[in-house]
Every structure is written in C-alpha cells, then in structure tokens.
Amino acid sequence: MIDGKTELIAHLGWPTHAFKAPMIYNPYFEAVGVNAVVVPMGCPPESFPQVLLGVFALQNVRGALITMPHKVSVVELLDEVTPTVKVAGSCNAVKRLPDGRLAGDMFDGEGFVRGVERKGLRLQGASALVVGSGGVGSAIAASLAAAGAATLALVDVNEASAEALAQRLRREYPALAVRTGSRDPAAFDLVVNATPLGMQAGDPLPVDVARIDPRSFVGEVVMKNEITPFLAAAQARGCRVQVGTDMLFEMIPAYLEFFGFPPATPETLRSHARIAY
C-alpha cells in the first residue's frame, strides 16, 4: 500500500510493456514489510538524460533500475562506475551517493556468477569460455573477471566485438588471461552461452557439446525454455548446468544490497514473484 513514506525505485526503460521487475520486487516488498515500490517509467531515448536527473532530484527515490534502451547511454551520465560497468560498457542500476553524486553498477552478469557459485563452482582462479560478446556476454565476462576468474576466452560472430571486450577486460584486469577467436569448449571450468542461439527452434548449438569436459559447468542466458537444447546436451554429457531464469532471480539480491535494502534470497524472491514464463 503506497503512502507518503513510500520510497521509489524508478524502473527506466522503453517501452515498458514487457517489464517484469515490478511483479518480482513489489510482491516481495509487500510480503516482508518494506515500504518501497518499483515504478515503471517509460522513457524515450531522447528524454533519458533529463528524466534521469529529474528522477534523482526526488527525495524519496532510492535508486533506479535501468533497462533497454538506456543501459549503455546511462554510463556517461554517472559520476562513479564500477570496473564491471567499464568492462560491460553498460549499467543497469543507479543510486545517489550520500554526497549527491550518481553511482552505477551492472548486475546482469552478477546474477549469473552468484548462481553458478551457489551451485558449487569456485570462480576464483577458474577458466571460462563466454560465447557471445554482446550486452549480456560482456556483462557476464565482466562479472567473471570481478569474481576472480584467471582465464577468459571470448568469441562472437562479430570478431571486433569480442576483441573490444577483450581490450576492456585487459585494461581493468591486467593479470587476467584473455583469449579470443576460438569457440572450442574443451578444458574450461565454465562454458557460457550468451548468444540468442536456442531462442528459435532449429538454432544450431553455440559450441560443439561433444568437446565439453563432463566436469565443466555449463550456463545459459536464454530464458525461453528452462532447459534449452544446449543445456539438455550438456546435461546428457554429465555437466552441471544453470538455466537462464536463475540469472534473473540471483541478480535481484545484488540489486537490493546495492540500494541498501535488507538481504534477500533468490528462493524468497521467486516464491513471491507474480510472473509466468
């Protein structure tokens, strides 16, 4: 029940019709008695700088969730960003610091990282192949580096995109071994599909699954079906896997911490969410 003491989380994107965050956060806030609400705000690209400043001029705004098409353009409007934002080249969470400056972080990859770590994969010192160097692939690579991965292999149909991501990673993490150009999944601790392959029936698999070590962990970003053909093939080889929606619910505790709310578990959030897949 919104009242005069309700704090706002602005959910900035455009269009808003497919937004899911209000139906995840708000039932949770209500259930645990946090007087806050995620408010969808449909902001066309040309108005975004003005809207962002207006939103953070409001005294009862706790923070903002940033989504398409603003994840990249928001970065240059912020006063302080994390290495994860710098590597990903995008930002999906903004808050006001006590001194009034705006700080941004990026949790798209953090959800993936938290998920695989909770499932038992130790990322400190690990090696990973990330297939796809677009928005989500860049975010996952950035979070894997932040989590202490030792080796990252990057590949994308657009070679320049993978190369640019590699350069941003080397700049922020000089000790990290970064390779590009091969999609051979052999001998990695973690293999990630961060491409849209698997959304359409008949899509080829992102890598040659027969070359994945059965001890590898395999993760997926496609949320259309929980078990995509790629995950099914990996499971058949004996690999442990992480589905796309795990990333979503693992991400939200990270957001809540960033905004300064009490800690929450992905299970609690998932149990209160009013969304269907």
Measured over the CA atoms of residue 195, residue 113, residue 232 and residue 271, the dihedral's sign is negative
Please return the burial class of 189, using the count of CB atoms within 10 Å of its CB with bins 0-12, 13-18 and 19+: buried
Asked if the peptide bond before residue 69 counts as cis, ω within 30 degrees of 0, the response is: yes
Stretch that binds a second copy, among 59-67, 78-86, 115-123, 210-218 (CB under 8 A): 59-67
Does 42 help bind a second copy (rule: CB under 8 A)?
A: yes
DSSP code of residue 42? E
Q: For residues 17 and 175, which CB has a smaller minimum distance to a second copy in the complex?
A: 17
Q: Which of 269, 263, 214, 216 is nearest to 247 (CA)?
A: 269
CB of 88 to a second copy, least distance (A): 24
User: Helix, strand, or coil here: 226?
Assistant: coil
Instruction: Please check whether residue 12 is in contact with residue 69, taking contact to mean a CB–CB distance below 8 angstroms.
Output: no
Q: Which of 193, 119, 108 is nearest to 146 (CA)?
A: 108
CA distance 32 to 7: 15
**Interface pick for a second copy out of 34, 54, 203, 205 (rule CB under 8 A):** 54
Q: Where are the alpha helices (DSSP H) in 132-243?
A: 135-146, 159-172, 229-236
- Using the CB atoms, write b or e for 53-76: b if 16+ within 10 Å: eebbeeeebbbbbbbeebbeebbe
Does 200 help bind a second copy (rule: CB under 8 A)?
A: no
71 catalytic? Reply is yes
**Interface pick for a second copy out of 101, 171, 215, 274 (rule CB under 8 A):** 274
Does 69 help bind a second copy (rule: CB under 8 A)?
A: no
CB of 45 to a second copy, least distance (A): 11
Tokens at residue 252, please?
């939200």
For residue 174, CA distances in Å to 82, 150, 171, 263 come to 16, 11, 6, 33
Stretch that binds a second copy, among 49-57, 85-93, 169-177, 233-241 (CB under 8 A): 49-57
Residue 127's beta-bridge partner residues? 151
**Interface pick for a second copy out of 9, 28, 36, 51 (rule CB under 8 A):** 51
Does 271 help bind a second copy (rule: CB under 8 A)?
A: no
Q: For residues 68 and 176, which CB has a smaller minimum distance to a second copy in the complex?
A: 68
Q: For residues 46 and 267, which CB has a smaller minimum distance to a second copy in the complex?
A: 46
Does 91 help bind a second copy (rule: CB under 8 A)?
A: no
Does 141 help bind a second copy (rule: CB under 8 A)?
A: no
Stretch that binds a second copy, among 42-50, 199-207, 222-230, 234-242 (CB under 8 A): 42-50
Annotated catalytic residue, options 5, 71, 95, 119: 71
Q: For residues 7 and 108, which CB has a smaller minimum distance to a second copy in the complex?
A: 7
The single-letter code of the amino acid at 229 is P
x/- string (CB under 8 A) for a second copy, residues 8-37?
A: x-----xxxxxxx-xx--xx---------x
CB of 180 to a second copy, least distance (A): 37
CB of 19 to a second copy, least distance (A): 4
What is the binding site for a second copy (CB under 8 A)?
Answer: 1-6, 8, 14-20, 22-23, 26-27, 37-44, 47, 50-55, 57-61, 274
Which residues are marked as active site? 71
